[in-house]
A and B are shown apart, each in its own frame.
Chain A
Amino acid sequence: MAKKDTARAPLTPAVLHILLALSTGERHGYGIMKQVEADSQGKVKMGPGTLYGSMRRMMEAGLIRESEKRVDPEMDDERRIYYELTGAGRAALEAELNRYRGVVAVAEGRLAYGH
């Protein structure tokens, strides 16, 4: 029930950015942070408090899950926990993007009419 509701309800900006960052594959915390920064062209900088607080709520809602703990070959030899999207997470992201498309279509229609 909660998972269905999450897929329908509008997402917070932090949750949307995390879902987007994970949409192309699993990442660890720092990797998500860097991807969010890249996706937003440096406009969104998420600290660990916001990132992990959002991920806690997303895991409870079944949007993401821990995948495994392993070494990132591009970084040091420390083992890191990776996170990935669940089916519900992908559905929530698609629903949110559809909502945005709808809003953009309405806005574009209004602006065209206004001109």
Chain B
Amino acid sequence: MATDGAGRRCRAWYAMLLRLYPGPFRERFGEGMAQTFHDLCRERRNARRGLHGLALWIFFETSVGIVRENTSHMSQLGKTMLRVALGALAVLMVPLVASQVVEGWNWDARAFVFVYVLFFGTGMMYAVIARKMGAWSYKAGVGLALVAGFALGWSNMVHVADSENPANLVYYSVLAVGGVGASMARLEARALARTLFAMAATLAVIAVLLPSGAPPYLARNMAVLHGVFVTLFTASGLLFRHASLAGSK
């Protein structure tokens, strides 16, 4: 007869085995699989039959599933990387063509490689994060947040280089808030909504407190630009909030 102690040990080992599944699969089905294993163990216990044969069969069967799911996951990841790499290359054509026709646009090869890595990195972030949830609003929220974050980081990089004012580096704190918030949120829609609202608030505070030192006509343009970014981050936060509400129904 299987004892409770043996059952507990088997369930603990099974939970450890489930960790070998790819993350997205584990998050979606791990709890259900552990529950099903628990139910099968209880069925055995109620029938006063030993656990070892069942545990051995299920551990083997699950191990085969782990190999299959990891193989499938790697092949999907490979396809995603190829798609993103080609997409990034297509977007890179814009500055590449522009550098040929726009006067004064003279990037060297390193700049193109750097920009390509940025495009590829942003695309992969979208591909990996957006598959976390099926809701259109979640995917749109991820896309909007990444586009706004990329544009903010890019424009600030250009602005710091042009103005040589290190005070402008403070804008990167908005992206830092996003990065820390997203990792703490574990990409859950509700917490991501709060992160995006925090990013919008941080940017609004910086816009109000940081003296631009620019002439009035330029200061007005900067205020409009700040407003656009605050709106984009807020809109992304609202999309995540929509996804969170839709997911909890």
Interface positions of A (Cβ within 8 A of B): 28-30, 33, 47-53, 55-56, 75, 78, 80-81
Contact = CB atoms under 8 A, between A and B. Distances in A.
A30 B40 contact: yes
Interface of B: 25, 28-29, 31-33, 35-37, 39-40, 57-58, 61-66, 68-69
A78 B36 CA distance: 11
A80 B69 CA distance: 23
B65 A53 contact: yes
A47 B62 contact: yes
B69 A81 contact: no
A50 B65 contact: yes
- Say whether chain B's binding surface is mostly helix, strand, loop, or mixed: helix
Given A56-B28, A56-B29, A56-B69, A30 B62 contact: no
5 contacts: A47-B57, A47-B62, A52-B32, A53-B68, A78-B35
Given A30-B35, A75-B39, A48 B28 contact: no
Contacts of A56: 25, 28-29, 69
B26 to A, nearest CB: 10
Contacts of B28: 56
